[in-house]
A and B are shown apart, each in its own frame.
Chain A
Amino acid sequence: MNTIFTVKDLNLKYGNNHVLHDINIDILENKITAFIGPSGCGKSTFLRCFNRMNDLIDNCKIMGQLNYNNNDILQVNSIDLRTKVGMVFQSPNPFPMSIFDNVAYGPRCQGIKNKVFLNDLVTQSLKNVGLYEEVKDRLKESGLSLSGGQQQRLCIARCIAMRPEVILMDEPTSALDPIATSKIEELILELKKDYTIIIVTHNMQQATRISDYTAFFLLGEIMEYGETKQIFKNPHNKKTEDYIAGRFG
């Protein structure tokens, strides 16, 4: 199994606020890795390090080593990086433009203008997320006309239209109802074949259902990292056990 991300002694500060302490973790290729932990423990912040979205935040300092396929993420061009490492956000955020334009947005920004190619790409991406049959007659309609679950799948389609290697998901189902959530979860398992997925979740059942590996964060540190089965059935750390059992968090 290949390691796609290697993180060594990563520290992150927002101004004087020390958010992440000495993070060490290896993320494996074509696996689903879940980050769990109470709110404010730094898991979303850590997730945003992988595609350098923290660059958008003022006064954010990152120290340590963060390698992607043996290249230092902090050194590479952030825009090229984001075409390889896609991201899906907490609440569905399609652009207020047509469904087609939403999916074609990323490729168009890369300068792709070929209509036939874009058509195929959009169709394929929508098929991959199981949305094509539902929207094939109304690709010209606004992306905001879809339901919440459909919007989130549209956002995933928009992300995979870039043909990334990694998809980062920041609580992708927290704004959705159970049926939409289960659809997204099925989709994530489906996508595992082609993509490496890192998912932040508050829902521990979700982590057990879909992830291969789980990292438990607490106060900006990784308390425990291992196979999901092991973490949930036989945690080595007392705090992990307490959190999973619902004693705090």
Chain B
Amino acid sequence: MRKIKDNILNAITYLCALFGILILVLLLIYIFSTGASVLSFKLLTSDYESESYSLVMPDEYTYVLNTYVNSNNSANFSTKWGIELADECNTEGVDIVTITYIDEKSPFMNLIQNTNKTSYKIAIGSEITTMAVYDDLGNYISVLTNKGAAKAISYLDQGTSIYSVNIQTGGGGIRGSLIATLLLIITTLVLVIPLGVMAAIYLNELAKPGRITNILKSMIDMISGIPSIIFGFVGLLIFVPFIDNTFSSSGGSILSGALTMSVMLLPVVIKTTEESLKTIPNSYRNASIALGATKTQTIFKVVLPNAIAGILSATLLSIGRVIGESAALIIAIGTVVKDKVTLTGTATPLSVHIWTIMQGENPNYEVACAISIVILSMVLILNLSVKLLSKKLNKGEAK
């Protein structure tokens, strides 16, 4: 009888464990399989905003018939125009046609911008959105790129003079959001760690145990249960106008987001630091006091250095929360992806960047997953480094 009971309980344990782990593994597999294809160095380093240029041929240009050498023997080379096109995938995973080679004598080297009539050198790797050419008879032939590079070349070769070339460079990258995330983390930590550690010291070392201290402590516990979106509104109502007035900026900013996150993370930092302060043996404090040290000296020379491990884990927890937070930041910073990131200007951290690209008619799952991979690896690296650091610190003490 007992055996059957044990077996049933064991089976339930194994099933639950298996189910829990399976979900997590599947989630990871989905994220990696979807995101890995678009995750590239280019995605990390390029701008989000793309630049479009409309190019035309100057009126005085005379076309010289020439046969250009296909030196690379590539399939999509136009011997008539001296350019090579290629099918590629842009940072957002959309199929595009890019210019991979232009001959020095090619007419494409002489194009000017339509808007201000200045010469423009087409950069290798630029995306061609549309082109249009005229043939001998003066017929207008539009060269569309949505059917691939080979088709585009065949259309292009029918023409004899260029009417227009529309190109686009970069775009869809997350460089700005990556910088914004790092900036947000640093600003938040600079604000929250000193505040939280000092508050923990007050509560654990200085405050007389009593009703008021207990009320304070339970209030701090309560704050950690408030949904983050509420903090977002706090940020919107208090910090955004405050920053706007102080720095004469407008709208949400990294700084207002960092202030919001600081308020949100205060209870975490206070609690974690307090726990580590509690583990410091009283004999250290007594020894210090008995040596004629003041209470303040005892706190800063003996207690605080021994709480470093706790402060480190509070830091790690805070970083994790900042990287992962989106609801509060959508409200306190905004959802406009920016490439030029400043402390008092708006920008999106990575999590909000995901939110932004998933908005609208064409949610982009690939890039969202790629950003998730970036976030995951950031958290992983931080985790490992903090573990290593605290191990080193503990070793120094135990030696």
Binding site for B on A (CB under 8 A): 51, 53, 56, 58, 79-80, 82-83, 86-87, 89, 91, 93-97, 105-106, 109-110, 141-142, 144-145, 155, 158-159, 162
Which residue of B281, B283, B292 is within 8 Å of A82 (Cβ)? B292
Alpha-carbon gap, A58 to B210, bound state (A): 11
Kindly provide the distance from the CB of A103 to the nearest chain B CB, expressed in whole angstroms.
10
B301 interface residue per 8 A CB criterion: yes
Shortest C-beta distance, A199 to chain B (Å), equals: 15
Which residues of chain A come closer than 8 Å to B286, judged between CB atoms?
A: 53, 56, 89, 93
Cα A141 to Cα B287 in complex, Å, equals 19
Nearest B residue to A142, CB-CB: B399
Q: Is B399 within 8 A of A155, CB to CB?
A: no
Neighbour of B287 across the interface among A51, A79, A93, A145, CB < 8 A: A93
7 closest A-B pairs (Cβ-Cβ)? Answer: A83-B292, A93-B283, A106-B291, A87-B290, A109-B293, A82-B292, A96-B397
Q: Judge whether A95 and B284 touch: CB under 8 Å.
A: yes
Q: Which residues of A contact B372 (CB under 8 A)?
A: none
Q: Does B288 reach chain A (CB closer than 8 Å)?
A: yes
Note all chain B residues with C-beta closer than 8 A to A159.
290-291
Whether the pair A105, B209 counts as a contact (CB closer than 8 A) is: no
Q: Which residue of B lies closest to A94 (CB)?
A: B287
Q: Is there a chain A Cβ closer than 8 Å to B396's Cβ? A: yes
Please report the C-alpha to C-alpha distance between residue A73 and residue B283 in the assembled complex, in whole angstroms: 23
User: In the complex, are the beta carbons of A82 and B290 less than 8 A apart?
Assistant: yes
Tell me the nearest residue of chain A to B294, going by C-beta.
A79
B306's partner among A56, A93, A96, A142 (CB-CB below 8 A) is A96
| Interchain CB contact under 8 A, B292 and A144 | no
The contact of B290 among A53, A91, A110, A145, by CB within 8 Å, is A53
How far apart are the CA atoms of A91 and B294 in the complex, in Å? Answer: 22
Q: Which residues of chain B are near A51, meaning CB under 8 Å?
A: 290
> Do A109 and B291 touch (CB < 8 A)?
yes
Output the nearest chain A residue to B398 by Cβ-Cβ distance: A144
Nearest CB of B to A156, in Å: 12
**Which B266-293 residues have a C-beta within 8 angstroms of A?**
281, 283-293
Cα distance A45–B287 in the bound complex, in angstroms: 16
Bound-complex Cα distance A158 to B291 (A)? 8
Q: Would you list 30 pairs from A and B whose C-beta atoms are within 8 A, ordered by A residue?
A: A56-B286, A56-B289, A79-B292, A89-B286, A93-B281, A93-B283, A93-B284, A93-B286, A93-B287, A95-B284, A95-B287, A95-B288, A95-B302, A96-B305, A97-B305, A105-B291, A105-B301, A109-B291, A109-B292, A109-B293, A141-B399, A142-B397, A142-B398, A144-B398, A144-B399, A145-B399, A155-B287, A159-B290, A159-B291, A162-B291
> B297 interface residue, CB < 8 Å from A?
yes
Chain A contacts for B208, CB-based, 8 A: 58
Q: A109-B301, A142-B398, A162-B292 are in contact. List 7 more A-B contacts (CB 8 A).
A: A53-B290, A94-B287, A97-B305, A106-B292, A109-B288, A109-B294, A144-B397
